[in-house]
Amino acid sequence: MLKQLIIQRQRAFHSGDRAVWLHYRDKVQREISSQKRTYYARKIQNLKNSNPRQWWNYIRQITGKEKPAPNFDITSDGVPMSDLELCGKLNEHFLSASADLPPLDLGRLPAYLPAPEPPPSISIAQ
């Protein structure tokens, strides 16, 4: 029915008869609203009450808000790298940030444990 109304509205528009065009324009708008209400009641309302997650997924899908999966293909010289190769490259990069620092001398670190004295105790006064 909606398709026929749109065809009639377009014919009225191209014929130049403004009164008829306005009449069909209003009918098309009312029919679209009616179809939206029917669609919501038939498809979406039931999902909202029975499965909220599926309802949200459906809403995102019909509104075009579905995010595409990100593309994480990382290449080296045009060849995709495996996860192990990628980890190695990241490791090399982070190691290069500290390459100019001297190695850590573990003997110069203070020894916190075991402590020479027990830690202080806290008591609650009543």
Q: Write the pLDDT tens digit of every residue in 8-40.
A: 999 999 999 999 999 999 999 999 999 989 988
Q: What percent of the chain has pLDDT over 70?
A: 90
Classify residue 21: in a domain, yes or no: yes
Classify residue 103: in a domain, yes or no: no
Global pTM value = 0.43
Classify residue 54: in a domain, yes or no: yes
Phi/psi for 5 (5° steps) reads -65, -40
Between residues 63 and 115, which one has the greater pLDDT? 63
**Rounded distance, CA 85 to CA 99, Å?**
21
Tell me if the bond preceding 70 is cis, omega within 30° of 0.
no
Closest CA to 57 of 43, 77, 70, 71: 43
Range of the domain at 56: 1-63
Task: Check residue 19 and give its pLDDT.
Answer: 95
SS (HEC) of the chain: CHHHHHHHHHHHHHHCCHHHHHHHHHHHHHHHHHHHHHHHHHHHHHHHHHCHHHHHHHHHHHCCCCCCCCCCCCEECCEECCHHHHHHHHHHHHHHHCCCCCCCCHHHCCCCCCCCCCCCCCCCCC
Task: Check residue 112 and give its pLDDT.
Answer: 67
Classify residue 20: in a domain, yes or no: yes
Classify residue 122: in a domain, yes or no: no
What is the domain count for the chain?
1
Classify residue 83: in a domain, yes or no: no
Classify residue 123: in a domain, yes or no: no
Q: How confident is the model at residue 126 (pLDDT cuts 50, 70, 90)?
A: low
Classify residue 89: in a domain, yes or no: no
